[in-house]
Structure 1
Amino acid sequence: MNISRKIIHIDMDCFYASIEMRQNPTLIGKAVAVGGSANQRGVLTTCNYEARKFGLHSAMPTAQALKLCPQLVLLPVNMSLYKEVSAQIHQIFQRYTSIIEPLSLDEAYLDVTHCQHHSGSATWIAQAIRQAIWNELQLTASAGIAPLKFLAKIASDQNKPNGQFVITPEQVADFISTLPLKKIPGVGNVTNEKLKQLGFHTCADIQKSEKHFIFQQFGKFGQRLWDFSHGIDEREIEVNRPRKSLAVENTLLQDISDLNSAEMIVCEQFNKLIFRIQRNWADTPLSEFKKLGIKLKFDDFSQTTLERTMDNFTQENFLYLLEQIWQRRNGRKIRLIGINVHFPNKKVTTQLNLWE
C-alpha cells in the first residue's frame, strides 16, 4: 500500500448552478437547476441545494424535476462560461502542482506530494486552494485529502458543501475497515444491493471473505473491490487522459433473459449518457454523436459488443442496437448491460472520466 503520496481531490459545489447564481444574485435562495428543456428530453446537469430539498438530482429528466418542483428556475447550459471558469480554477491549481488529472470541468485530482508550499502540508494546500477559488471567483469547493486516489475522492464528499476532510496515512486502515461499500467509486445501487444480499456491508466484510469468491461474484470489478477494501490503489494521477468515448453500464442485481427488461435499462442509461454529454459537451449538438455502441455480459462472464455509425444519437437507435445484439444471447442470461457513444472526429479538449 503506497501511503507516501499526498493526493487532493477538488470537487466544486453545484458548479454550473453556483456560477449562474454568482452571475445573477437574485437567484440566491431559489431552487435553481441547469439543464436541457423538458420538451426536448432534457436532463438536469446540476442543481443547487435548495432544489435538492425537493428530491432533484443530476441526470434527472427535466420533466420529472419540474413536476417535483414547479417553482424550479431552469437555466440553459452556458458551456462557454463554465469552461472559462474551469480554466481559471485550473490556473489556481497550477500554482501548487502540475500533476493534475481533470475528471470533468468541476472536478480534479492533484498530486501535491512534492509541493513545498505551506510547509508541504496537503491539508493547508487544499485550504489555500479553496480560499483562492472563493476570493478570486466567488465559488465554493470541497476537498478530500488522502494518500490513495479513491480515498481522496470519498473524502471530498464528507464535508460538502464548502468543506474538506483529511485521511492521514495513519488513519487509512481504520477508515477503510468501517467504510460502507456503497461509498466506493463504481459501487452503484445494483451492486450495493447484491453486496448486501451476500452479507457485505463494509470493507471489513470484504477483508474477511475469500478473494476467489469476490471475483466469482463480481467479475473484473471484483478486483477493484478487493483492492480498495484492502487499501490498495496504485493508480497514478494521469495528467493527459483524452477520452474517445463515454459509456454507461450496469451490473444487474439479478440476471435477466427478457428483452423488455433490457429495453427499460437502456432507456435509463440513455438519460445518464445525455447528462454526461451535456455536462461537458453541451456546445456540440447531439446530432454529431453518430457512432453508438452497446455491450452485453452473459451469465457465463463472456461478453459481446456491437458498434454502428447511425444517422443520429437517439434512444430508438440504441434500442435498435439492443435488438440486434440480443440475437447473440443463445439462451444465456444477461448480467451486465452498457451503452456508449464515441466523440465526433475533432480534437478532444475536455478531459472526461469514462465511467463516472
Structure 2
Amino acid sequence: MDFCLKGQEGCARAGTLKLAHGIVQTPIFMPVGTQASVKSLDARDLQVHLKASIILGNTYHLYLRPGASVIKNLGGLHGFSGFQGNFLTDSGGFQAFSLHTHTKEHSKGIVFKSHIDGSTHLFTPQKVLDTQYALNSDICMVLDDLVGLPAPLERLKLAVQKTTEWAKESLTHHKSHAGATNYIFAIVQGGISHELRKISALDLCALDFDGYAIGGLAVGESAQEMYEMISYTTEFLPTHKPRYLMGVGTPQDLLEAIERGVDMFDCVMPTRNARNGTLFTSCGKISIKAQAHKESEEPLDKNCACYTCQHHSKAYLHHLFKARELSYFRLASLHNLHFYLELVRGARETILKQEFSTYKRAWLERLG
C-alpha cells in the first residue's frame, strides 16, 4: 500500500493514501454507505458536492442483500453504485455485536441469522474476504471479535485471541486470493485494558497488514477512556501505515483522535443526526425543528459553503422537516457531511502548517 506522511505536528499526521480509485488525503472522514449508498444521497452528491474520496460499505448487509455475486456481476461496488471514488468495506464483526440476539459463537467464525428472512449463515475469515473481493472494495477489513464494554477481562482476552487467530487466517487467504487493488486492514481489540491492547497491537503488527484499525471503542466506555486507549494503542502501530478508528464519532472525538495520531474515521452520526433534525455548524449544533427557525432567512451556517447553505434558508429546511418532505434528508445530510469533511480537511491543512493545536483549540471552544 502506498501511504506517505506529508507532515506531522506532535502525533497528529497528514498523509496521502494512493488507492485504485483515487488519492485519499488524510486525516479523512468516510461517509457511511451501508447499502452501497449513503442514505438519501447519490454518487453525484458524493463526488461533486462533497468531493468525498472514500466511503464505507457494509459487508454483512450487502452479503444478505442484494448479494455479493449480484454486485460482482454488475461491476463491483463502483459499477453498481456509480460512485467512482474508493470503497472501504467492514468485516461484519460490528453487526455480530450490534445484532447479538441473532448471532452465536462458532469455532470457525460467527454464525448469525439474517435480520431479513431468518436464514442462517456462517461468516469465517475466508468467507468475509471472499465477499469483499466480489464487492471489489479498495480496502477490506478482516473478521474480528468485538465486545461491548464493560466486559469481563476473560471475555476480552478471548476476543483478542480470536481476533489474532482470524487475522492470521485472513492474511494467509488474502495472499493467494486477493486482487491487485484489494488491500487488507487488521483490527486491534482489547477493550480498555492496556495490557490487552498492547498484546493485540504487537501481535497484529508482526503480521504486516496494509493498515491497522482500532476497534472495540465507543461501545460503552467514557470519552476519556476512549481517548486514553487511542493514545496508548497508536504507540504500537507502525508510523508508515494508515490508522483507522472505527465507528467514531462526534466532531470533538475526531479532533481528539487526530491529535493522537489517527488518520481515518467513519461514523453514522452526521447523516443520522441530519435525518433527526440536528445539524452541525461552526457555532455548535442546532435543532432545525425549533420554532426559532420557522421564519429565518439565514442559511444554517453563514460560514458554510455547502450546497444546502448556498441555496436554502433555515426556514425552508424547518418547513421540509416539519412536513416530512424527502428532500429534507438529502439537504440536511449534504450539510452535515460537508461539515465533517471540511473539519478533517482543515485539520490536514493546519497540521501541514504546524498550526493544528490552535485549530483544535478554536474548534473545541466553538463546539462547546
Is the shorter-chain TM-score for this pair beyond 0.5, marking a shared fold? no
Normalising by structure 1, we get a TM-score of: 0.29
